[in-house]
Amino acid sequence: MTPGSDIEWRVSDAPVAYEEALAFMEARVAAIRASTAPECVWLLEHPPLYTAGTSAKAGDLVAARFPVYQTGRGGQYTYHGPGQRVAYVVDTAATTDNIARAAELARGADNLFIEAAFADEDAALANQRRHLTAGAAGRIAKLAGARRVTPFHFSQRYVDRPDLIPEQVNRAFRE
């Protein structure tokens, strides 16, 4: 299977147990690496829970009202519950189809976390590396009608200009 040749889209109408979604995700990652399955965008809701990242300390959890799942990734405690529409877009080339799909995926998101690997002035490099520019990320957020946009996944070339990418994203988002 050619990477990126197909994307499977799944929509679950009923809540999906976190353990089930996690097991699916881990199996899919292995299958993608083995080139036996396409990438998958799965729109789902799961029952309320907390995830505990590698920085989480037991005493920091204020109200353990829901199950806690260790993630093995960075961060502390994060609440996941109903009423939050969050979208993530990462490792995406700025093709017309990808922009339309990303905007549809993020439609009405309370917060869109989106890659903005390159500054607008490096659009040729972004296209070559199949990543979004800051301006493209902001435009996708605007097309999606997202309430808030949070750019991430910046190229290291901007480490000395930490405000550049967020400023370009927000400018395009507000235009």
Q: What is the mean pLDDT of the chain?
A: 88
Task: Please say whether the beta carbons of 107 and 143 come within 8 A.
Answer: no
Instruction: Report how far residue 34's alpha carbon sits from residue 45's, in angstroms, rounded to the nearest whole number.
Output: 28
What confidence tier does 74 reach under pLDDT thresholds 50, 70, 90?
Answer: low
What confidence tier does 32 reach under pLDDT thresholds 50, 70, 90?
Answer: confident
Residue 149, pLDDT > 80, answer yes
Instruction: Report how far residue 65's alpha carbon sits from residue 68's, in angstroms, rounded to the nearest whole number.
Output: 9
Residue 103's pLDDT is 94
What confidence tier does 114 reach under pLDDT thresholds 50, 70, 90?
Answer: very high
Q: Which of 91-95, 140-144, 168-172 has the lowest mean pLDDT?
A: 91-95
Residue 23's pLDDT is 92
Instruction: Report how far residue 43's alpha carbon sits from residue 50's, in angstroms, rounded to the nearest whole number.
Output: 19
Distances (CA, A) of 146 to 31, 38, 98, 114: 32, 27, 17, 11
Residue 79's pLDDT is 84
Distances (CA, A) of 25 to 28, 39, 58, 130: 5, 10, 26, 23
Of 78 and 148, the one with more pLDDT: 148
User: Nearest to residue 25, comparing CAs of 47, 10, 13, 14?
Assistant: 10
Q: Is the pTM of this model over 0.75?
A: no
Instruction: Report how far residue 117's alpha carbon sits from residue 123's, in angstroms, rounded to the nearest whole number.
Output: 10
Q: What's the token pair of residue 29? A: 């990652």
Q: Compute the average pLDDT of residues 106-131.
A: 93
Residue 174's pLDDT is 96
Collapsing DSSP to helix, strand or coil, 147 comes out as coil
One-character DSSP codes across 40-79: EEEE----SEEEE-TT--GGG-S---S-EEE-SSSSSEEE
